[in-house]
Structure 1
C-alpha cells in the first residue's frame, strides 16, 4: 500500500479502476464527476489552489487531486492523517464557486458514496442525499472497499463530524 510522502503520485488501485468506469451523468439525474487517470501534478495542484484561494503563499502538497465535476470543481485526497496510506486519507471537494467540504473520511467510504449515487459536489452542497444506487460503482466498491457499505448521508455526516474545521481552515487561507 502506498504511504503518503511528498513525491507519492501513484493512484491507488481503486482510483485507477474508478477512472475506467463510466459514470453516468444522466442529464443531471446521475453523478457529475470525471475521475482522472493520474493525480494532478504537484505544480498544477499548487497553481490551482493559489488561484482558488487568491493566496500566493499556499502550496498544494496536502492534496492529491483525482477528478473534477463539469463546472471544474475538484475532488482530492487530503493529507488530513499524516503518515497514513493514501486509502486512509479523507476525500474533499473544492468547487468552482467556492464550495468546500468533506466528502468521505477515507477512500473506501468515498467508493460507497459514489455507489449510492452521490457525487463529490452533491456531498458538499446538500444536507439531504437521496440514494440512487449505481450498479457499476457498487461493483467497484465491493471489489475495493475495506469499510462496510453505508448510505452516503451517513458517510458524509461521519466525515464532517471527524473533520469539522476543514472548510473553515480553507476559508482562512483565502485572500
Structure 2
C-alpha cells in the first residue's frame, strides 16, 4: 500500500465543489463526466480494480475513485507519490473497455482541464486536447487551483510525459 498522508481518504474540498457544478454532456458535444460527492469506499475500489484487471490478488489502496463517465469508466486520484497529500497525486482514468491513461499531474491541474471543457473520457478515449471552456468550472478552478492556468493540451502532455509507463504498469497487473 502506498501511504499518502493521514488524510488519505478525506475528500478534497475542490472535488466536493466540482460535484456541485452541473457538467453539460450536451448530447455528446460536451463533457461526459459525473463527479461524485465522496470517494468510493476502499472495498468498492478494491472490488472494481480486481474485476477491471482480472487480478484478484490486488487491492485498490493506490486509487481514490471520484467520478465516472456515462459508460462506467472511472476517474481516480492515483496515490503514487508517497507522503504527499491527495491533491498532489495524479488524476487517472480507467475506461469501461480497457482504456486507461493519465489525465493530469495533480488535482489542481485537473481543475484547469475541466475548466477548459474536457473530462477524463475525452482525453483518454478520444485523445482530445481542446474543448469548450466552462465558466462555472473556470471560476471553481480560480478559487481552488494552486498551479497556474495553462491550456489543457499542455497539462495533459506534461502529465503523460511524467508517467509514461502508467498503461504498461496496468497491463502488468492484468490477468
Q: TM-score, normalised by structure 1?
A: 0.95
- Unpaired runs of 5+ residues, structure 1, are none
* 2:118 corresponds to: 118
* 2:152 corresponds to: 152
Query: Secondary structure at 1:84's aligned position in 2?
Result: coil
- Unpaired runs of 5+ residues, structure 2, are none
* 1:35 corresponds to: 35
Deviation of 1:80 (Å):
1.5
Once the two structures are superposed, residues 68-95 of structure 1 have per-residue CA deviations (whole angstroms, 9 ceiling, x without a partner) of 0000000000011111011100000001
Counterpart mapping for 1:82-101 below 5 A: 82-101=82-101
* 1:53 corresponds to: 53
Query: Secondary structure at 1:81's aligned position in 2?
Result: coil
Deviation of 1:123 (Å):
1.2
* 1:106 corresponds to: 106
The answer (yes or no) to whether the contact 2:8–2:86 under 8 Å persists in 1 is no
Query: Secondary structure at 1:160's aligned position in 2?
Result: helix
Q: Give the distance between the partners of 1:55 and 1:7, measured in 2 at CA.
A: 28
- CA separation of 1:82/1:57 partners in 2, compared to 1, >3 Å: closer, same or farther? same
Does residue 68 (structure 1) correspond to residue 76 (structure 2)? The answer is no
Deviation of 1:130 (Å):
2.1
Q: Give the distance between the partners of 2:7 and 2:157, measured in 1 at CA.
A: 31
RMSD over aligned CA atoms reads 1.4
* 2:163 corresponds to: 163
Q: Give the distance between the partners of 1:57 and 1:39, measured in 2 at CA.
A: 22
The answer (yes or no) to whether the contact 1:6–1:61 under 8 Å persists in 2 is no
- CA separation of 1:6/1:100 partners in 2, compared to 1, >3 Å: closer, same or farther? farther
Q: Give the distance between the partners of 2:162 and 2:66, measured in 1 at CA.
A: 22
Deviation of 1:166 (Å):
0.7
Number of positions where the alignment pairs a residue of Structure 1 with one of Structure 2? 173
